[in-house]
């Protein structure tokens, strides 16, 4: 045994500068070497990662993590109409007509969260829920994941929108909403995906 080996055991296992590189954390073909959190609020966390990219070069990756799941549903009434929600969206300074949407808290059942949001925004209660699958909204920058449903067998209750929300509601034929999603008059991604997926289920 080399006497230097036993002496080395008393030192912490530090990488030797210039010879050994930090190993980092493997993320698929990427390696995360370091990360900081330059911004966080109640909805998002922005992370700055030092990475080794799949080509082996060192670089950076800015990741936006979402605290909540994006939930959306299509309330389909017996007369063949759907309820859409209109609101001004601050990041784009633009008015949008969308399906009812909300944020699902971690650790809560997404469907129960969706039911709560639907009731708050529209006053509607649905007894039949058909899943319309998942969607990843912007997977090159964010980890935002959406879950979608078709909500049927509706009963009208009382809406209680949050004061911050200035919502309008309208009912239009489901087929008209699908046309608007298909031709680009409806542009909100959650709404377009839900309506065009539902169009393949509903006669």
Q: Which residues inside 7-26 make contact with a copy of itself, applying CB under 8 A?
A: none
Q: List, as own/partner pairs, every contact residues 179-182 make where C-beta atoms lie below 8 angstroms and the sequence separation is at least 24, other chains included.
A: 180/97
Tokens of 20: 């050994």
Minimum Å gap between C-beta 35 and a copy of itself is 12
- Which residue in the set 34, 58, 60, 168 belongs to the binding site for a copy of itself (CB under 8 A)? 60
Q: Which residues inside 102-131 make contact with a copy of itself, applying CB under 8 A?
A: none
Minimum Å gap between C-beta 79 and a copy of itself is 24
Q: Which residues inside 143-202 make contact with a copy of itself, applying CB under 8 A?
A: 143-146, 163-166, 181-184, 187-189, 192-193, 196-197, 199-200
The answer to whether 47 and 37 have CB atoms below 8 angstroms apart is yes
Of 38-46, 75-83, 108-116, 168-176, the window that binds a copy of itself (rule: CB under 8 A) is 38-46
Buried residues in 37-70 as b, exposed as e (16+ CB within 10 A): eeeeeeeeebbebbbbeeeeeeeebebeebebbb
Residue spans of beta strands (DSSP E) within 77-123: 81-89, 94-98, 101-104
Q: Are strands 94-98 and 81-89 parallel, antiparallel or unpaired?
A: antiparallel
Q: How big is the site for a copy of itself, counted in residues (CB under 8 A)? A: 67
Tokens of 18: 């210039």
Question: What CA–CA distance (Å, rounded) separates 21 from 3?
Answer: 26
Of 3-11, 12-20, 34-42, 112-120, the window that binds a copy of itself (rule: CB under 8 A) is 34-42
Closer to a copy of itself by CB, 3 or 163: give it.
163
Of 12-20, 52-60, 73-81, 108-116, the window that binds a copy of itself (rule: CB under 8 A) is 52-60
Of 6-14, 36-44, 118-126, 151-159, the window that binds a copy of itself (rule: CB under 8 A) is 36-44
Tokens of 127: 């007894």
In DSSP terms, 98 is beta-bridged to 85
Output DSSP code: residue 16: P
Q: Residues interacting with a copy of itself, by CB under 8 A? A: 27-30, 38-39, 41, 43-44, 46, 48, 51, 53-55, 57, 59-66, 70, 88-96, 101, 132-146, 163-166, 181-184, 187-189, 192-193, 196-197, 199-200
């Amino acid at each position: 045994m080399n006497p230097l080996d036993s002496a080395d055991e008393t030192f912490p296992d530090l990488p030797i500068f210039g010879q050994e590189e930090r190993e980092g954390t493997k993320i698929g073909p990427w390696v995360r070497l370091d990360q900081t959190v330059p911004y966080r609020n109640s909805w998002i966390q922005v992370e700055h990662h030092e990475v080794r990219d799949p080509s082996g070069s060192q670089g950076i990756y800015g990741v936006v993590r979402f605290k909540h799941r994006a939930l959306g549903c299509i309330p389909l009434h017996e007369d063949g109409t759907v309820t859409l929600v209109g609101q001004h969206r601050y990041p784009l300074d633009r008015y949008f007509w969308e399906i009812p949407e909300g944020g699902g808290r971690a650790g809560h059942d997404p469907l129960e969260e969706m039911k709560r949001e639907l009731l708050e925004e529209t006053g509607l209660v649905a007894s039949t829920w058909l899943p319309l699958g998942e969607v990843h909204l912007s997977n090159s920058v964010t980890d935002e994941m959406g879950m979608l449903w078709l909500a049927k067998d509706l009963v009208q209750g009382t809406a209680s929108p949050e004061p911050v929300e200035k919502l309008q509601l309208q009912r239009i034929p489901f087929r008209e909403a699908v046309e608007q999603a298909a031709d680009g008059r409806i542009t909100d991604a959650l709404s377009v995906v839900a309506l065009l997926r539902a169009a393949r289920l509903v006669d």
